[in-house]
Chains A and B, each alone.
Chain A
Amino acid sequence: MMARAPLLSIENLSISLPTADGGRALAVRGVDIAIGEGEIVGLAGESGSGKTLSALAALGLLPSGATTGGRVMFDGRELMGEGGRGAAAVRGRDLAMVFQDPMTALHPMLSVGRQMTEHLVQHRRIGRAEADRIAIAMLDRVRIPNPKEAMARFPHQFSGGMRQRIAIASALAAGPRLLIADEPTTALDVTVQAGILRLIENLRRELKLSVLLITHDLGVMSALADRVYVMYAGRVVELGSRAAVLSRPRHPYARGLLDALPHGSPADHPLQALPGSPPSIGRFPAGCAFHPRCRFAEDICRADIPELLPVGEGHAIACPVDPLAAVMA
């Protein structure tokens, strides 16, 4: 399904973090993710599943003390290794990121204009006036009213939704090819969320942008993503097209996530919370990390770490039992 080489490919990525007691813990364990040109790829999972860490690794922004294995290729370049110099060359220029909380991700003491242009001047070696022109055009594109005046204002003078638009505009001003959006709507009101999602969708079309969308919100995921990866305890447990993963999930965990969502008809589909809570980094259970919470778990789940195996066109799950095969296929 992906004829050309992907724009970004994360291959066999592992990340270990230092722990409070001086040891190390593996937080990401052999993850493969590929994003094509102009594609929106969703990365779902609960907190601690390693989804944000994987994205930060691509940008070379892992917390100090983290060590990595595997590789990250961006348009034929290796981003990890060389002391992060590979990522430094593309960061902010070809690869941009927006964060969860627009209240804290914009600098409170720098004007919007300054935050929109400082990296432009840096990366593109252009003058102030030219950078201003690009920034104003980008603010206009993300539907900030009076973009010229907005340049002279400060973040606290805008609402949360407007700030997220500014953050996105700032990330996109340098003309990146891939945008990593880490829970871009989680901190916003529901009504504002829809606007931001529509904006990302439009930008993808207009700018031929690829997007890595990180979210625990499957509703957001189903509105935007072309393909979806579901992570649990530092591993990808299911991947496939949006239709496959979000309407016919095969992995018990993905299925559980979906069942925990309020659906249309409550009568035949009672809300079901996943029993238990996700394991924290360093305390991943042996075998399939999901087995303590899985009602289909068998002996093999406790013993072996399951491989990702294809179950359909571009659809794969890491579950040797595959209890939902009959129901879902």
Chain B
Amino acid sequence: MSFLRSAWYALPNLVRFVIRRLFVGVLLCLGITLVSFALTQVVPGDPVSANLGDRAASDPEIVAAFRARYGLDKPVPQQYLLYLERLVHGDLGESQQTKRPVTTDLAQYLPATIELATAAMILALVLGISLGVVAAIGRDRWPDQVIRVISLAGVSIPTFWLALVTFYIFFFKLGIAPGVGRLNPGGKAPPSITNMFTIDALLSGQWTTLGIAASHLVLPATVLAIYTVGSITRFTRAAMLESLSQDYVRAARAKGLPERTVILRHALRPALAAIVTVAGMAFGRMLSGTVLVESVFSWPGIGQYAYKSALALDLRAIMGVSLVVAAIYILVNMAVDIIYALIDPRIRLG
């Protein structure tokens, strides 16, 4: 034991941090399986009839076979272990709606969502951080007030409505936005590498396809970003105000550094570390937002998949989606924490 302990403390600080964070990440992932399993248990509704349909559910033989197959005849803790075992093998059950394994469906739809959410996140970070910095510098004066109203409006607009309105204006009225979907009707997808069309087109040098895929991304990504822009702006402002009031910023000014350097190097850097963490959390809400945006723009991602599944009351498919999204959320936040550690010398060097 003591050998293990001293070996552990002999590791560099950063390595210890990463290992600890990975461990917590794995625990959290295990936790979400527990929550999602618990939900399927707690939620009323007979999984048998939900999955088999009424006709099959009235046949006792089929029901018994179904129960045996999914271990529903066993005690609950054992059911959880069975559930975990299936999960490890990538078995999330069969979608009632597509009649395919949920895992297969997710693999097909996930890249489109990741492409959309990543584009939106980049946009939200760039806009949100810039607006937040400007607001903090002009604290309590008009730029701050204007940006405050803008960011509050950002978190107040119903996403689905904004999607409809912008689509109506830019596609229907002005004709400058392309239609729904990821490509023009009948358009050919680029060679499948990541299944994110912009990336694939870029990798294979299909510039026309890249242009089309990117133009289809603009409107949905912007709409999806709006809420996050609002929250990142608010947070950036607060973090900047806090770091601007620090002694080290006053010291930087006393050293006669130009204001631009003081703000971008001395004040923004520590604020950025905190902003990245919040952005990681905002990513979760953004993934939620994809449900609404994808259903308006017919974007074939997991959001639309979840929506169609929910309408069909296809519990297995939706639980699959929420499990995957929660896992992505945890992984993203774990990555963010590790990036944070790499940026901050206090953690990196201990």
Interface residues, chain A, with chain B CB atoms under 8 Å away: 59, 61, 64, 88, 90-93, 96-97, 99-101, 104-111, 118-119, 122-123, 153-154, 156-157, 167, 170-171, 174
Q: Which A residue's beta carbon lies closest to that of B343?
A: A109
Residues in chain B near residue A105, CB distance under 8 A: 247-248, 250-251
Please tell me if the beta carbons of B345 and A154 are within 8 angstroms of each other in the complex.
Answer: yes
Q: Let me know if B35 is at the binding interface, CB within 8 A.
A: no
Q: Mark B62-79, 1 if CB is under 8 A from A, else 0.
A: 000000000000000000
A109-B270, A109-B344, A157-B349 known; A88 and B247 CB under 8 Å? no
Please tell me if the beta carbons of B251 and A167 are within 8 angstroms of each other in the complex.
Answer: yes
A91-B256, A118-B257, A122-B256 known; A106 and B265 CB under 8 Å? no
A61-B250, A156-B345, A156-B346 known; A119 and B269 CB under 8 Å? no
A93-B256, A118-B261 known; A99 and B270 CB under 8 Å? no
8 A Cβ contacts from B228-253 to A: 246-248, 250-253
For the A-B complex, the count of residue pairs with Cβ-Cβ distances under 8 Å equals 83
8 A Cβ contacts from B74-99 to A: none
Cα A33 to Cα B247 in complex, Å, equals: 25
The 9 closest A-B pairs by CB, nearest first: A92-B256, A104-B247, A92-B255, A119-B255, A91-B256, A97-B254, A154-B345, A107-B248, A105-B247
CB distance from A167 to the nearest CB of B (A): 7
Please tell me if the beta carbons of A61 and B253 are within 8 angstroms of each other in the complex.
Answer: yes
CB distance from A11 to the nearest CB of B (A): 22
Please tell me if the beta carbons of B265 and A110 are within 8 angstroms of each other in the complex.
Answer: yes
Residues in chain B near residue A91, CB distance under 8 A: 253-256
Cα A123 to Cα B256 in complex, Å, equals: 8
Q: Let me know if B44 is at the binding interface, CB within 8 A.
A: no
CB distance from A64 to the nearest CB of B (A): 8
Contact of A122 among B254, B257, B344 (CB under 8 A): B257
Residues in chain A near residue B254, CB distance under 8 A: 59, 61, 91-92, 96-97, 99, 171
Cα A171 to Cα B257 in complex, Å, equals: 12
8 A Cβ contacts from B168-215 to A: none
Q: Let me know if B258 is at the binding interface, CB within 8 A.
A: yes
8 A Cβ contacts from B253-300 to A: 253-258, 261, 265-266, 269-270, 273
Contact of B270 among A61, A90, A108 (CB under 8 A): A108
Please tell me if the beta carbons of A107 and B266 are within 8 angstroms of each other in the complex.
Answer: yes
Residues in chain B near residue A88, CB distance under 8 A: 256
Cα A118 to Cα B346 in complex, Å, equals: 21
Interface residues, chain B, with chain A CB atoms under 8 Å away: 139, 246-248, 250-258, 261, 265-266, 269-270, 273, 343-346, 349
Please tell me if the beta carbons of B257 and A119 are within 8 angstroms of each other in the complex.
Answer: yes
Please tell me if the beta carbons of A170 and B255 are within 8 angstroms of each other in the complex.
Answer: yes
Please tell me if the beta carbons of B252 and A96 are within 8 angstroms of each other in the complex.
Answer: no
Most buried by A among B246, B253, B269, B270: B253
CB distance from A143 to the nearest CB of B (A): 21
A92-B256, A92-B257, A107-B252 known; A99 and B247 CB under 8 Å? yes
Q: Which A residue's beta carbon lies closest to that of B272?
A: A109
Residues in chain A near residue B256, CB distance under 8 A: 88, 90-93, 119, 122-123, 174
CB distance from B142 to the nearest CB of A (A): 14
Residues in chain B near residue A106, CB distance under 8 A: 248, 251
Q: Which B residue's beta carbon lies closest to that of A94?
A: B256
Please tell me if the beta carbons of B250 and A99 are within 8 angstroms of each other in the complex.
Answer: yes
CB distance from A185 to the nearest CB of B (A): 16
Residues in chain A near residue B266, CB distance under 8 A: 107, 110
Q: List 11 A-B contacts (CB under 8 A).
A: A90-B256, A91-B254, A99-B250, A104-B247, A105-B251, A107-B252, A108-B344, A109-B343, A111-B345, A119-B256, A171-B254
Q: Which B residue's beta carbon lies closest to that of A173?
A: B255
Cα A110 to Cα B251 in complex, Å, equals: 13
Q: Which A residue's beta carbon lies closest to that of B269?
A: A109
Please tell me if the beta carbons of A171 and B346 are within 8 angstroms of each other in the complex.
Answer: no
Residues in chain B near residue A167, CB distance under 8 A: 251
Please tell me if the beta carbons of B248 and A108 are within 8 angstroms of each other in the complex.
Answer: yes
Cα A295 to Cα B97 in complex, Å, equals: 91
Instruction: Supply 4 further A-B pairs (C-beta < 8 A) apart from A88-B256, A107-B252.
Output: A92-B254, A99-B247, A118-B257, A122-B261
Please tell me if the beta carbons of A108 and B261 are within 8 angstroms of each other in the complex.
Answer: no
Q: Which B residue's beta carbon lies closest to that of A93?
A: B256
Contact of A101 among B247, B269, B273, B344 (CB under 8 A): B247
CB distance from A311 to the nearest CB of B (A): 36
Please tell me if the beta carbons of B248 and A104 are within 8 angstroms of each other in the complex.
Answer: yes
Cα A106 to Cα B254 in complex, Å, equals: 12
CB distance from A84 to the nearest CB of B (A): 11
Q: Which A residue's beta carbon lies closest to that of B346?
A: A156
Residues in chain B near residue A99, CB distance under 8 A: 247, 250-251, 254
